Chain A
Amino acid sequence: MPEILQNPPLLLCPLGDNAVALLFGETISPDIHRRILAVAQALEQQPFAGLVEFVPAFTSLTVYYDPWVLSQQGKLDAYSEVVRQLGILVEQVQETHTKPARVVELPVVYGGIYGPDLEEVAEHAGLSTDEVVRIHSSGTYHVYMIGFAPGFPYLGGMDVRLSVPRKADPRNRIPAGSVGIAGAQTGVYSISTPGGWQLIGRTPLQLFNPGRDNPSLLQAGDEVRFVPISPEEFLVMEEEQAWD
C-alpha cells in the first residue's frame, strides 16, 4: 500500500481518501524535522492543484487534498496524482533550501502567582528556584509542531534536570500564557484550558490571537528562548498586547 520514494528515501501512505502522510522516520531528530519543514515550505511556494493544507509533525508531514478538484481536471485517480506531484516536489527539495530558523523570545515572569509550581519543581529537581529559572531560560527550544490546542507548541530541548511529573490533580483552568513542565517536556498554554502541567511562569505574549494574519505566534521550525522579566514588566507588556 505505501509508496516508497528512493531519492531521498521516504514513505508515502494514504490517510483516508483525502490526505497523504509523508513518513520521514520514527524518531525525533532536528535533521528529520528540517527535511519535513523543507518539503512543507516547498509545498507552500509551489502548491499543486487541489492542495488544501498540510500539517507538519515530529516525523511526518500530512498533506490534505480535495479529490473533487483533481477529478474536475480529469485526474480521476486523485491519490496517484498527488503522490506523483509530491514525488517531484520532494526530489527537488534540498535541505539547504530551508529558511534559517526564526528565533522567538518569550518574556516570562517566573514564580509567584504566575508560576505557582516553581518551588515544587525546584524541590523535585533538588535545585534552588533561581537555578530552575536559570536553566529553563538558558535553553534554546525547537518547535516541532503546533497541535493539541490552537497555537500550542510542542517544544523539544528541555534540560532533563528539570523533569518533573504532572500534577496529581489537574487544574480546572490554566491561564493562557502559562509556562509549564510535564515529564521531560516544557510548553506554553496557548489558550486557557484545564491541564496538569507544573506551572513555573507566564508570558504576557499571546500565543494565539485569531485577529492576526498568523493567529499562532509560533510556527513549526521556530527556535524559542525564554527571557525572565519582572511582574511589573509583565503588566506593561500585557497592556501593550491588549492594543494589538
Chain B
Amino acid sequence: MGLKIRKPGLLTTVQDLGRYGYQRQGVVVGGAMDKVALRIANLLVGNAEGAATLEISMQGPEIEFEQDTIIALGGADLSASINDKPVRLWRPVLVKAGSILRFGKPRYGNYTYLAVGGGVDVPVVMGSCSTYMHAGLGGLQGRALRSGDKLYLGASSETNRQILSALLLQGKKEASFTEALWSPEPELLPAYAQYPVLRARGNLEYNWFSESSRGYIWQEKYKLLPQSDRMGYRLQGAMLVLEEERGMLSTAVSFGTVQVPKQGNPIILMADAQTTGGYPRIIQVITADLPKLAQVQPGGVISFEDISLEEAQRLFYQQELSMLALQQAILYKLNQV
C-alpha cells in the first residue's frame, strides 16, 4: 500500500531539505530546489516541514494511490489533475484509493512538491532522504523514479489523521478526491516570477572582474538556458571577464553561488551544487530568493540587484517568520474542525 508510479515523468525524485554535515567529505547538500515550497506542502498535510516528498519537474509523472492519502502540492503549477479533474496547489487534499494523479502543461515554475501524509518512506542515508543521483545516494536506490516503482508512506502523526478525518467528513463519498476549503493567505506563499529580480551580494572574487563586468552583472538581464539542471542554472547575457588572467584554487561553493567560467557566461549553482569549485565567484544570490530562482523556467530572464548583508538576513528572517505563521495558521484551522 502506498504510491505506484505508472509513468515517471521527466525527472521525479525523492527530496527533503538536504544532507548537511558532509560537505567536507565532498558530499553535496542537495535536497529540494525550492525548499520553501517543500516545507509548505509538508505543513499542509500535517507533516514535519522537512519530511521526504516527491520533487516533480516539468513533465510530471502519473501516480496511482493505493490507499486513501492526504496530499498537498506546492511550487510549480504543472496542471495537476486527479482522475482528470484539476486539483489545486497549496491546500490539503484527500485522495481516495485507486485514484490517479497526472500532470499536464507547465503553467509556471519548474518544480512541484508532492507531500503525502506521513512522508515518503525511504531509508535515511547520511541524515537525509534526498536523492543525489550523481553518487547514487538516498531516495529510492539513489536514482530517479521509474515506471513500476512503489513508494510507501511513513507512519501517520496525530495531525495527519486529523486532516484525513476532517476531509473524509467534508467530502462526498463517491468523489475521487476532496480539497480542503481553506488555503494559506497568498502573502504567506512564495511569489514566483518568470522575470525575477534576484537579490544578491558581491562575492569573494567580485573585484577580480573588470569594471564593465561588475557593471553588467547589476544592470544587464540574463537569460536562463535550457541546459540547466539541479546542479546549475546556465545564464546567457553580457559576457563577464576578469580584469586580468589569474588562476584560482578550488574552494567552497554553495546553492546560490554565481560562478563565471572562462567563456564568460555565468552559472548559478543550485541545490546539487558541488561542494567546491575552481571558477571565480562574482556574486551570491541571497537565501530568501533561492525558491524564486529555482522556479524560473528555461527562457526566463533574470536580473540581479545588489543588497546589503543585513538586508539579506532580514529577508531570511522574514521568510522564517512567515513559515512560523503558516504553521500556526494550519494548527488553528485544524483545531477549528
Chain A residues with a Cβ under 8 A of chain B: 1, 13-19, 21, 23, 26, 28, 40, 52-60, 62, 64, 67-68, 71, 76-79, 145-152, 154, 190-191, 193, 208, 210, 214-216, 219-220
The reply to whether B25 and A150 contact each other, CB–CB distance below 8 Å, is: yes
Complex alpha-carbon distance, A21 and B316, angstroms: 20
**B contact patch SS:** mixed
Considering only residues 95-147 of chain B, those with a C-beta below 8 Å from chain A are: 125-126, 134-137
User: Which of chain B's residues has its CB closest to A58's CB?
Assistant: B249
Whole-angstrom CA separation of A68 from B71 in the bound complex:
29
Number of interface residues of B (CB under 8 A): 41
Q: Which of A55, A71, A77 contacts B23 (CB 8 A)?
A: A55
* Further contacts, 13 of them, CB under 8 A, given A15-B204, A28-B249: A16-B286, A57-B252, A59-B249, A62-B252, A68-B320, A77-B313, A147-B276, A149-B134, A191-B136, A210-B126, A215-B126, A216-B22, A219-B25
Is there contact, CB below 8 Å, between A147 and B250? yes
Alpha-carbon distance A17/B136, docked complex (angstroms): 30
Contacts of B135 in A (CB 8 A): 149-150, 191, 208, 210
> Is B194's beta carbon under 8 Å from chain A?
no
CA distance A54 to B285 in the complex (A): 20
CA distance A164 to B57 in the complex (A): 42
- Would you call A147 and B316 a contact (CB within 8 A)? no
Of residues 308 through 337 on chain B, the ones whose CB sits less than 8 Å from some CB of chain A are: 309-310, 312-313, 316-317, 320
Nearest opposing residue in chain A for B137, CB measure: A210
A57 partner residues in chain B, CB cutoff 8 A: 249-252, 276
Q: Which B134-169 residues have C-beta < 8 A from chain A?
A: 134-137
Known: A68-B320, A210-B125. A16 touches B137 (CB 8 A): no
Chain A to chain B contacts (Cβ below 8 Å), 11 pairs: A1-B202, A14-B201, A16-B286, A16-B287, A16-B312, A26-B249, A52-B21, A71-B313, A76-B313, A216-B22, A216-B25
Asked if B26 is at the interface of the complex by the 8 Å CB criterion, the answer is: yes
Q: Is B173 an interface residue (CB 8 A)?
A: no
- Cβ-defined partner of A16 (8 Å) among B25, B284, B310: B284
Nearest chain A CB to B282's CB is how many angstroms away?
A: 12
Instruction: Give the chain A neighbours of B20 by CB distance below 8 A.
Output: 52-53
Distance, CA A151 to CA B313, complexed state (A) = 32
Query: In the assembly, what is the distance between CA of A236 and CA of B198, in Å?
Result: 55
A-contacting residues, B1-59, CB 8 Å = 20-28
Inside 8 A of B204's CB, which chain A residues have their CB?
Answer: 13, 15, 21, 23
Query: Which are the 6 A-B pairs with shortest beta-carbon distances?
Result: A147-B276, A62-B252, A216-B25, A16-B284, A17-B312, A55-B252
The answer to whether A15 and B254 touch across the interface, beta carbons within 8 angstroms, is yes
Contact B313–A145 (Cβ < 8 Å): no
Chain B residues with CB under 8 Å of A219's CB are 24-25
Q: A13-B204, A16-B203, A16-B256 are in contact. Are A60 and B25 (CB under 8 A)?
A: no
Is the CB of B257 closer than 8 A to any CB of chain A? yes
Set B21, B23, B134, B284: member contacting A15, Cβ < 8 A: B284
Q: Which of B28, B204, B254 has the most chain A CB atoms closer than 10 A to its own CB?
A: B204
Which residues of chain B are within 8 angstroms of A154 by Cβ–Cβ distance? 250
User: Which B residues are closer than 8 A to A by beta carbons?
Assistant: 20-28, 125-126, 134-137, 201-204, 249-252, 254, 256-257, 274-276, 281, 284-287, 309-310, 312-313, 316-317, 320
A contact residues around B136 at 8 Å (CB): 191
Of all chain B residues, the one with the shortest Cβ separation from A193 is B134
A197 to chain B, nearest CB (A): 16
Hey, which chain A residues are within 8 Å of B256, CB to CB? Answer: 16
Cβ-defined contact, B317 with A54, below 8 A:
no
Q: A17-B286, A64-B254, A145-B276 are in contact. Are A56 and B24 (CB under 8 A)?
A: yes
Question: Once bound together, how far apart are the Cα atoms of A79 and B314, in whole Å?
Answer: 12
Among candidates A191, A208, A210, A220, residue contacting B24 with C-beta atoms closer than 8 Å: A220
- Central interface residue in A19, A145, A208, by most chain B CB within 10 Å: A145
A145 to B204, CA, bound (A): 19
| Residues of chain A contacted by B317 (CB below 8 angstroms) | 67-68, 71, 76
Q: Which A residues are in CB contact (< 8 Å) with B28?
A: 150
Given contacts A147-B274, A150-B26, A210-B126, contact A15 B287 (CB under 8 A): no
Among the listed A62, A76, A152, A220, which residue makes an inter-chain contact with B251, where contact means beta carbons less than 8 Å apart?
Answer: A62
Shortest C-beta distance, B167 to chain A (Å), equals: 32
Given the known A-B contacts A17-B287, A62-B251, are A67 and B316 also in contact in the complex, defined by CB atoms under 8 Å? yes
Interface centre among B26, B137, B254 (most CB of A within 10 A): B26
Q: Are A21 and B252 in contact (CB under 8 A)?
A: yes
Q: A14-B309, A149-B26 are in contact. Are A55 and B320 (CB under 8 A)?
A: no
Given A55-B275, A150-B135, A154-B250, check contact A17 B313 (CB 8 Å): yes
**A147 to B23 Cα, complex, angstroms:** 8
Taken together as a complex, chains A and B put the C-alpha atoms of A13 and B21 apart, in Å, by 21
Q: Are A60 and B252 in contact (CB under 8 A)?
A: yes
Q: In whole angstroms, what is the CA distance A147 to B253 when docked?
A: 10
